[in-house]
Chain A
Amino acid sequence: MGSVRPGTTAGNHQGLDLKVLTRRRFLRALASAGAVLPLAAALAACGGEDEPASTTSPTSAATASPGTTQEAAATPTTAGTTATAEATGTSGVFPVTVEHKFGTTEIPEEPERVVTIGFSEQDPVLALGVKPVAVREWFGNQPYAVWPWAQDELGDATPQVLVMPYGELDFETIAALRPDVIIATHSGVTEDEYTRLSQIAPTVAQSGDYPDFGMPWQEQTRVIGRALGREAVAEERIAQVEAAIAEAASAHAEFAGATIAWASPSGDGQFWAVGPNTPPMRFLISLGFVVPDDLAKVVGDLDSAQISKEQINLLDTDVLIMQTDTPEQRSAIEADPLYQQLRVSREGRTIFFERSDDPIYGALSFSTVLSLPYLVERLVPLLAAAVDGDPSTEATS
Chain B
Amino acid sequence: MAHRGTLPAAKLGATLLLCVAALAVVAVLSLRVGSIGISNADAFDALFHYDPASYEQTVVRTLRLPRTIIGLGVGAALAMAGAAMQATTRNPLAGPDLLGVNSGAAFGIVTAVYYGHLTHPLQFVWFAFAGGLAAAAATYAFGSAGPGGATPVKLALAGVVVSSLLSSWLTALLLLDQQTLEVVRFWLAGSLAGRDVTTFTSVLPFLLVGLIGMLAMANQLDILSMGEDTARSLGMHTGRVRAVVTALVVLLAGAAVAAAGPIGFLGLAVPHIVRLFTGPDYRWTLAYCLVVGPLLLLSADILGRVVARPGEVQVGIVTAVLGAPVLIALARQRRVAEL
Contacts and interface: CB of A to CB of B under 8 A. Distances in A.
A7 B312 contact: no
Interface string A1-42: 111111111111111101010101000110111111111001
Nearest to B160: A8
Interface in B236-268: 262-265, 268
A3 B89 CA distance: 9
Interface in A262-280: 266-270
A268 B193 contact: yes
Interface stretch (B176-184, B212-220, B282-290): B176-184
Given A308-B34, A326-B119, A24 B311 contact: no
A7 B313 contact: no
A270 B312 contact: yes
Interface in B46-86: 52-53, 55, 58-59, 62-63
Given A7-B156, A14-B262, A310-B34, A338 B58 contact: yes
Contact of B63 (A43, A46, A338): A338
Nearest to A310: B35
Contacts of B210: none
B163 A341 contact: no
Interface residues of B, number: 76
Contact of A13 (B62, B166, B191, B265): B166
A200 to B, nearest CB: 27
Interface in A302-322: 305-311, 313-314
A393 interface: no
Nearest to A46: B308
Interface stretch (B21-29, B100-108, B201-209): B100-108
Interface in B138-154: 152-153
A155 interface: no
Contacts of A270: 193-194, 311-312
Interface stretch (B9-17, B270-278, B291-299, B317-325): B317-325
B59 A338 contact: yes
B336 A4 contact: yes
Given A7-B156, A35-B317, A1 B90 contact: yes
A35 B264 contact: yes
Interface in A38-71: 38-39, 42-43, 46-47
Contacts of A33: 188-189
B35 A13 contact: no
Contact of B320 (A7, A16, A36): A36
B40 to A, nearest CB: 17
A364 to B, nearest CB: 19
A176 interface: no
Contacts of B175: 18, 20
Interface string B302-339: 00010111111110111011001000000000001101
B312 A308 contact: yes
A305 B308 CA distance: 10
Contacts of B6: none
B316 A35 contact: yes
Contact of A42 (B34, B193, B317): B317
Interface string A337-349: 1100100000000
A75 interface: no
B98 interface: yes
A325 interface: yes
Nearest to B228: A1
Contacts of A308: 34-36, 193, 305, 309-312
Nearest to B182: A325
Contacts of A85: none
Interface in B161-177: 163-164, 166-167, 170-171, 174-175
B188 A14 contact: yes
Nearest to B53: A341
Contacts of A314: 310
B156 A268 contact: no
A160 to B, nearest CB: 20
A333 B52 CA distance: 17
Nearest to A3: B153
Nearest to A9: B264
B124 interface: no
B165 to A, nearest CB: 10
Nearest to A29: B185
Contacts of B98: 7-8
B321 A39 contact: yes
B252 to A, nearest CB: 15
A43 B308 contact: yes
Name which of A31, A42, A267, A325 has the most chain B CB atoms within 10 A of its CB.
A267
A307 B102 CA distance: 28
A87 interface: no
B91 to A, nearest CB: 6
Given A2-B91, A337-B52, A46 B312 contact: yes
A118 to B, nearest CB: 19
Given A2-B92, A7-B156, A310 B265 contact: no
Nearest to A269: B194
A341 B153 CA distance: 55
A268 B314 contact: yes
Contacts of B153: 3
A310 B93 contact: no
A329 interface: yes
Contacts of B189: 14, 31-33, 35, 268
A306 B312 contact: yes
Contact of B58 (A14, A36, A337): A337
A12 B314 contact: no
Contact of A311 (B35, B160, B178, B191): B35
Given A12-B103, A35-B317, A46 B311 contact: yes
Contacts of B120: 328, 332
Given A11-B264, A13-B262, A267 B185 contact: yes
Given A35-B320, A42-B318, 14 more contacts: A2-B337, A4-B92, A8-B163, A12-B163, A15-B171, A31-B314, A35-B262, A35-B264, A268-B187, A268-B194, A305-B310, A310-B63, A311-B36, A332-B120
6 contacts: A7-B97, A8-B163, A13-B102, A266-B186, A337-B62, A338-B62
